[in-house]
Chain A
Amino acid sequence: MLMLKCPNCGVTAEETEFAPGGEAHLTRYSSGSEDQAFTDYLFARKNPRGVHFERWRHAFGCGKWFHAARCTATLEVFGTYTAQTSTPPDDIIAAIKAKRPEWEGFK
């Protein structure tokens, strides 16, 4: 069971209070883009074993979206941060680096 801290309302709650929103920081390709880019945006996901950035919504709480960085193998949560960003903030990157020195970095 994941325990996530919602950065919008400050509540630390268990997974059942949240709704998962899939991989975070996707670039949205739409009409006018290359077919391959559009296909990859729709269907291709990283699905890594290890550090993963995700979108979550505090569905039963404040109802707001946020981002979480966690490890898919151990369920360790490195941190949660605002949804109003297209890349993970520096403190989250630093927290991951501290615990996973071998991690190759974001993207």
Chain B
Amino acid sequence: MSNAVSILNGASSNGAVKITEAGLRGMITLRGDLSSTALKDAVKSVVGLTPPSERKVKSGKGGGVAWMSSDELLLLVDYDKADATVAKLSKALAGEHHMVVNVSDARAVFLIEGQGAREVLAKGAPVDLSPEAFGAGDLRRSRIGQLAAAFWMTEDESFELVCFRSVGAFMFDWLSNAAREGSLPEFL
């Protein structure tokens, strides 16, 4: 079997805020009727979580599940388990109108950690990232500079960001530059 590698093989940059390419992550796109019981049960059976409400993300021991649009979820699992999870979902949803695809190798994941993570993302995304408007478990699909991306906040005030693998290197450069030492506002 070929040796899978992520876009930047776990590169990281230590500026005012730490940017890390997260390495291999299992990601599965699941589209269908999010209100259907069969779909909810199928998601629960593979990641142990029910689908989150609008613009939210849930994570637990078995993985995570992110709301991407009114008919789309992104399931976050271990890289090795992605194909088996897809097979399991397909079986559970047989007969339901749905689509399930392993997109692990088509996406890049970045971690934005440290005080000021909000400021780094706010430089590129037209999103209100103030603590009142955006908290842990909130997810937003938007853009960073000119790149489409989805990001969400974890419990410890850091962010995880997903974008297309093809623009992963540029995304890393963009985020690293935005997180450069001395480039964040003084009031932090």
Contacts and interface: CB of A to CB of B under 8 A. Distances in A.
Given A60-B141, A61-B142, A9 B69 contact: yes
Contacts of B148: 59-60
Nearest to A15: B126
B70 A9 contact: yes
Given A9-B69, A10-B54, A13-B126, 9 more contacts: A11-B55, A13-B127, A14-B126, A17-B126, A60-B141, A61-B141, A61-B142, A62-B70, A64-B69
A27 B142 CA distance: 32
Interface residues of A, number: 14
- The A interface is mostly helix, strand or loop, or mixed, namely loop
Interface size class of B (residues with CB under 8 A): 10 to 19
Contacts of B69: 8-9, 61-64
- The B interface is mostly helix, strand or loop, or mixed, namely strand
Interface in B124-167: 126-127, 140-143, 148
Interface of B: 54-55, 68-70, 72, 126-127, 140-143, 148
Nearest to A61: B141
A58 to B, nearest CB: 8
A62 B73 CA distance: 11
